[in-house]
Each structure stands twice: as C-alpha cells, then as structure tokens.
Amino acid sequence: MCAVPTDLSTSTSSDTDLAAEERALASEYAALQERGLKLDLTRGKPSPEQLDLSNGLEKALDGADLASGGADARNYGGLDGLPAARRLGADLLGVDAAEVIAGGNASLTFMYQYLLNAWLNGPLGPETAWRRETAQPRFLCVVPGYDRHFTITESLGFEMLNVRMLDSGPDMDEVERLVAGDSSIKGIWCVPKYQNPTGHTFTDDTVRRLARLGSIAGPNFRIMWDNAYAVHDLYDDPPVLLDLMECCRAEGTADSAVMFASTSKITRAGAGVAFMAASPGNLAQFRKHLGVQTIGPDKVNQLRHVNFLRDIDGIRALMRRHAAIMRPKFERVLSFLDAGLAGRAQWTRPRGGYFISVDVAPGTAREVVRLAAGAGVKLTPAGATFPYGRDPDDANIRLAPSYATLDEIDQAMPVFVIAVRLAAVRRRQHR
C-alpha cells in the first residue's frame, strides 16, 4: 500500500455516466453539508476516556517518600532522571537502564536537542560536529511519515530526502544507495512499530539492514529511532520488533542508534515522562550540553509514574485497557472504508498505533480535505505526511480515529467517503 498508488481515478465510464455520478455525489454532499457538523480528525490525541485510565496518577504519591533512594525528587539535580524511571524507559525500549536518560513530558524535545547538539557540538565530541563536515546536512525521511519529525529537521536547516515506506519498513535498497553515495546524509527518521501514519512494523531484515548503516555511512550517521508506539497494540497477537540496539552491537555500530519513547500516550499526553537511549559515548556527549540547559527534569512526576505503572507488566495491563477503547474506533473507520471505497482508494489495516493511512486517487488529496472541511469534518492537511508539506502524488491522507467518539466517527466517515468519491469523479471529468 505504501508504494506510489496506481491512478485510482482511471475509469472507462462515458462522459454521460461521469456527469450522472457527479450529480448524485454532489447531491449527497450537499445533504451532508446541511447537517452542520463540526468534527475534528486531525491529530492522534488520546480521548478523554483514555486519559481517565490514568486518574490514579493523582494518588500515586500518597504516602510516598519523595526523598527515598538517596535522591530527593523535590530538589535540583539528577540530570539523567530517577533510576527507577530510567529502568521503566529501558523496559519500553529494550535496552539497559544505564543507556537511558529520563526527562520531561516530550520525547520530541530530546530529538530536537540531540540533533541540535550533533550539529553544533558533535555526536561524539567537537571533532565530530556535523557543521564541520558539511554546510548543508541532509536527512532521510520515510514517507508517508510523521510531520513533527520533518518540522524538527527543517527548522535546523537540514535538507530532507524522501524514502518510500514499504510494508516491510523503509525501502532499504534506496536507503543504502543514498547513504553509500552521499556523506552529507547524517541520519534517518524511523517510527519502527506501528509507523506513523501507515501502522506498519519494520521486519527483522529491515532492522538488521538499518543496524549495518553505520558501517556504510560512517561513525557520524544516526538512526533516530522514535519507538512512540512500542506498547500501543490493538490486538493480543502484536508483531514483535527486533531489538535494534542488540543488532547494532553485533555490527559494531552501537553509536548509530539513538532511541526515543515516552508515556505521553500511555498516561498523560501533556504530563508524561520521555526517554532517550543511546551508547555510553553518545550519552556522555549529550549529557554535557543537556546540563547547560537544565539542572534536572521533573523527578516528582517521574516518581508518580513509577509508582503508578510499576513495571512493564503494569504498562501492558494499562495498554490493554487503552486497546479496548481504541480498537472499536479503528474497526469502525475501516468498516466505512471497506463499504464505501473498495476499488476507489487504498488504506492500511494497522494492528496498533494511532493512525490509518489512506491513498486516494492521485491529484485529489487536497481536494478531499477541502471538501471534507466544507461539510464540517477537519482532516490532517494533505501533504502533512511528507517533508515540506509536499506529497508528490497529492494522494496520502492520515486518519486519526483516537479522539473521536464512535458516534462522531459514524458522522464523519460518510463525509470522508463522499469527499473521496466526489473529488475523484470531478478529476476524471476534467481530463
């Protein structure tokens, strides 16, 4: 599904048939407009019901000794975060606790800080600073992908190069070709499990090939491994993601892996704990400059999370409750797509994560988003899943079912279906 789609707007219908189809769809669309909907499917936010699952956080510090373990959580210091919080992050990322820094609520902050530090000060010391190697650093971006990754790299002045997302993960033939021939390419963005927005999980072969990139590209290349959906399974038989750090160690490329996760879609979206994991050398260099920016993270919130979640088993138990809320929403969206767009669009069927990726007829995604908005349904802007907001095929749309209620999905999806069909038939008419 992630390859460039075929032209789904192609049809042998006569002009008369197209005109009749357009009139019928336009009539349905006008009726939907009259309903006065105001619905938003733009971002993958946890619903209030999901946030309520972590209301126990408010009592997680009742009777707790905030100064336990020789570190007073109320005071300054503890740049790496509480040891217990680091262990929790290690469980999420599948690494050793010594390889983890626990921070504030946003893993995006760690990502930005890491890339800025690598550019200015070097990932492993001043002599490795990316700015000393190239005036125009470049970064590989898996598409369709996560818009905030692209925003970070664009804001830092990196040129972004598209790499297709396949069912197996990034197109590794293309990745290896690009990296081998261009020393200005400094890294690649990856969401390895339930990729945003397609929902695919990288295969074992893809992970092993990524681990070998440090040998191809050199010691300053970095895999930005944003494992945001590591435990966000919708079903009880989730795919298993191969351990990147273990593969990198086997290849002698451990410095190339920089890993991220957070509790943002586990507990409180705006008040969670973020984690970064990397080799000792990477962490030592990063820590020097992190210490200039902060005296330490919010350790009280970290302790609150440790007491509430306890360990990886506690996290998984909580995520099963999330899945019970999320799964019906995904299945409802898919039922509308199956019933209304078979043969007219292509879409993924995620086993977890937060998004469904839809490819409509090339050249119509922006029009679909415009039509949906005209009937009161806001969608993620077309092009948002590509660097610079430019989808070369104008085909990809990201659906985010999480925040809407089932009733809202029932109202929004007919609008989406009609918008996709109407945009396609109008494009065919004007050829």
Reported as a pLDDT band with limits 50, 70 and 90, residue 5 is very low
Convert the pLDDT of each residue in 40-69 to its tens digit: 999 899 999 999 999 999 899 998 888 866
Query: Is residue 243's pLDDT more than 80?
Result: yes
Residue 4's pLDDT is 45
| Distances 272 to 144, 216, 281, 303 between C-alpha atoms, Å | 27, 37, 27, 11
Residue carrying structure tokens 């077309």? 382
Residue 38's pLDDT is 95
Which two structure tokens, joined as six digits, stand for 286?
A: 């990063």
Percent pLDDT > 70 in the chain is: 96
Percent pLDDT > 90 in the chain is: 91
Residue 3's pLDDT is 47
Residue 300's pLDDT is 95
Query: Is residue 8's pLDDT more than 90?
Result: no
Instruction: Find the angle CA(66)-CA(67)-CA(70) to the nearest 5 degrees.
Output: 145
Residue 70's pLDDT is 66
**Rounded mean pLDDT, 397-410:** 97
Reported as a pLDDT band with limits 50, 70 and 90, residue 381 is very high
Residue 17's pLDDT is 86
- Nearest Cα to Cα of residue 184 among 138, 218, 131, 219: 138
Contact 144, 121 (CB under 8 A): no
Residue carrying structure tokens 């704990």? 273
Which domains occur in the chain, in start order? 15-51+319-429 (3.90.1150.10), 65-310 (3.40.640.10)
Contact 277, 88 (CB under 8 A): no
Max Cα-Cα span within the chain: 80
- Nearest Cα to Cα of residue 284 among 17, 80, 57: 80
Query: Is residue 289's pLDDT more than 90?
Result: yes
DSSP 127-161: GG-HHHH-SS-EEEEEES--HHHHHHHHHTT-EEE
Residue carrying structure tokens 């189809």? 21
SS3 of residue 389 by DSSP: helix
Strand order in the sheet with 222-226: 100-102, 274-277, 257-262, 222-226, 185-190, 138-143, 159-166, 169-170
Element at 178 (helix H, strand E): helix 172-181
Residue carrying structure tokens 């999370």? 305
SS3 of residue 119 by DSSP: helix
End-to-end Cα separation, the chain, in angstroms: 25
Residue carrying structure tokens 């070998």? 212
**Rounded mean pLDDT, 293-303:** 94
Reported as a pLDDT band with limits 50, 70 and 90, residue 102 is very high
Query: Is residue 11's pLDDT more than 80?
Result: no
Query: Is residue 250's pLDDT more than 70?
Result: yes
Convert the pLDDT of each residue in 103-125 to its tens digit: 999 999 999 999 999 999 999 99
Write down the mean pLDDT value for the chain: 94
Q: Please state, in angstroms and rounded to a whole number, the distance separating the CA atoms of residues 23 and 21.
A: 5
Residue 14's pLDDT is 79
**Rounded mean pLDDT, 168-189:** 97
Residue 157's pLDDT is 95
**Rounded mean pLDDT, 357-364:** 98
Q: Please state, in angstroms and rounded to a whole number, the distance separating the CA atoms of residues 2 and 201.
A: 13
DSSP 287-353: HHHHHHH-S---HHHHHHHHHHH-SHHHHHHHHHHHHHHHHHHHHHHHHHHHHHHBTTBEE---SBS
SS3 of residue 208 by DSSP: helix
β-strand 377-379 against 169-170: which pairing, if any? unpaired
